[in-house]
Structure 1
Amino acid sequence: MVMDLAVELIHATVQLEQPLGDGTRTVGTGFLISTPGPDGAPRTVLVTANHVLHKMQQPEARIGYRISNPDGSWSYAPKPLKIRDKDGAELWTQHPSRDVAAIVVKAPPEFARAAIPLNYLAGDDTFDAWRVGAGNEMMALGFPRGLSANSAGFPILRSGRVASYPLGPAAAFPTFLLDFSVFPGNSGGPVFVSRAQNATGLTPISDAAPGSGFIAGLLTQQVELNNERLEIGIVTHARYIRETIALLQGPLPLAPAIVAEAPPVAGARAAAAQASAQE
């Protein structure tokens, strides 16, 4: 049976938090990917924005797991996640040039089963295979200002339209814009296309992506210009999630750089340069 990617990603998306000791906390979003380890055995990888973990200066964060109860209800059951060693060194892997981080986690069995297979991350040809372009709708999951959908700690599902052109190749255009409001806590959440989005008319025309949808990238920033929020999110292409996960097994091979000039969009270049990274 083809899975509903929206529902599956809701189960795979978790809140990340660390108390600051003054009654406040740093909050971000992460999601779980299932991928083979160096020995071929399956492992669970937590993906988020690098700045989310970087802002957490204590050795342990909390990852917001949820428990399904026999009566059909759910309980929020966060667990500690070690992100730094005793000397404060980072234990996660970060992409060398993009705001993407990955760390292998020992998730509860139900969460390990909920992790999304690696092949659901968009490749360089996925957007073309799905005919995704400017104006098409994508969905995003996150915890804006640390708010969850309910007491069980499920993420909030929202949507927006692709607000920039072109979307590829990813080496030339590593990020794209999504027209929706971004708040602290959204960073690190998955941005995706689901087969359930029938109104958009998005269907695959090749085998370049799974038929139920794909993860387009992760939310890394909001756009600000002159200290004004423009209600536009910056999404980092899933290619860089793939590369970050690959770094868990060793350095990436060098590839020739592709340099391209982005088309002029009023304020977009300056806004991207001045965008404030929200936790």
Structure 2
Amino acid sequence: MFEPLFHDPSPDPTALAGWDLSVALINATVQIDQPSGEGVRTVGTGFLLDAPRTDGSPRTVLVTAGHVLDRMPASEVRIGWRVQALEGDWRFAPQPLQVRGPEDTPLWTTHPTQDIAVMEVVAPRMFARAAIPLAWLADEDTFEEARVGAGDELLSLGYPRGLSANRAGFPILRAGRIASWPLTPIAAFPTFLLDFAVFPGNSGGPVFWTPTARRAAGVDAPDHPYVAGILVQEVVVGQERLGLGVVAHAAYIREAVALLDAPPRPEP
């Protein structure tokens, strides 16, 4: 069953059901980049999850597309933290993040079948607090319960061509309609298409629904906003971009995070 999307027990969840997820996800979304040549950088998108360990201790997890990190060969990437000054202004304050260990061993964990990477990170306090709860991720039943269909609108955040919404480094918010059918069961259809223009730099961005998004006429809106998935690919045929993105269902992000708690495999 789909978990409630609000992990703070003090407010009344029913009173918060219409709250817009957009600003929360904007605050939790970051640019990931690495130099790839003279004056050129490889760019991707990531977002932060509040995903406590099995013992209940706090943990902040960076989620992105697996190929984003695969295509950044150096041991460190730059993660685009943002800092708010006392007077309310914001500035872009990126910091290095080590993603490879000795002998270039990846420090992230990848999903076994989907292009999803997760990695525990030490984030500035502001970003650790902005990380979205794991319960906000859709599970394998959410699309059925919310009666999601072809033509429904979803929102996405990212950094197309490395472009941000402003000098403070906030992500760009886009909207697109679901271009696939059927959408479930996700075991048979682990990804779906979203009709919007995708560019390098968008990969790894969250795809989500809030009450601001359009739905088919006569279909009731869900009770809660939710993260539907993660953008993992742009559809290109030959040299032609089709204006479609491939989204992996959020249930696979849940599975990837669960792998962080799995005991390490013994070496052969």
TM-score if structure 1 supplies the norm length? 0.85
Deviation at 1:20, TM superposition (A): 2.0
> Counterpart of 2:64?
48
> Counterpart of 2:237?
225
- Which stretch of the first structure deviates more once superposed, 195-204 or 119-128? 195-204
Q: Distance in 2 between matches of 1:69 and 1:154?
A: 15
- Counterparts in 2 of 1:230 and 1:188: CA distance versus 1, 3 Å: same
SS in 2 for 1:28: strand
SS in 1 for 2:55: coil
> Counterpart of 2:228?
216
> Counterpart of 2:257?
245
Deviation at 1:129, TM superposition (A): 1.8
After superposition, where does 1:97-112 map in structure 2 within 5 Å? 97-112=113-128
After superposition, where does 1:113-124 map in structure 2 within 5 Å? 113-124=129-140
Q: Give 2:221's aligned amino acid.
A: T
- Structure 2: stretches of 5+ with no match in the other structure: 1-14
Q: Give 1:101's aligned amino acid.
A: A
After superposition, where does 1:56-205 map in structure 2 within 5 Å? 56-197=72-213, 203-204=221-222
Task: Judge conservation of contact 2:151–2:215 (CA < 8 Å) in 1.
Answer: no
Deviations 1:93-140 (A, max 9, x none): 001111000000000111011011001111111112222110000000
Q: Distance in 1 between matches of 2:88 and 2:206?
A: 26
Deviation at 1:38, TM superposition (A): 3.2
- Structure 1: stretches of 5+ with no match in the other structure: 205-210, 253-279
Q: Distance in 1 between matches of 2:152 and 2:162?
A: 28
Deviation at 1:198, TM superposition (A): 6.1
Runs of 4+ in 1 over 2 A off after TM superposition: 195-202
Q: Distance in 2 between matches of 1:90 and 1:43?
A: 19
Task: Judge conservation of contact 1:144–1:185 (CA < 8 Å) in 2.
Answer: yes
Report the number of matched residues: 246
Q: Give 2:196's aligned amino acid.
A: F
Q: Distance in 2 between matches of 1:219 and 1:125?
A: 19
> Counterpart of 1:255?
none
Q: Distance in 2 between matches of 1:81 and 1:195?
A: 35
TM-score if structure 2 supplies the norm length? 0.88
Q: Give 1:60's aligned amino acid.
A: E
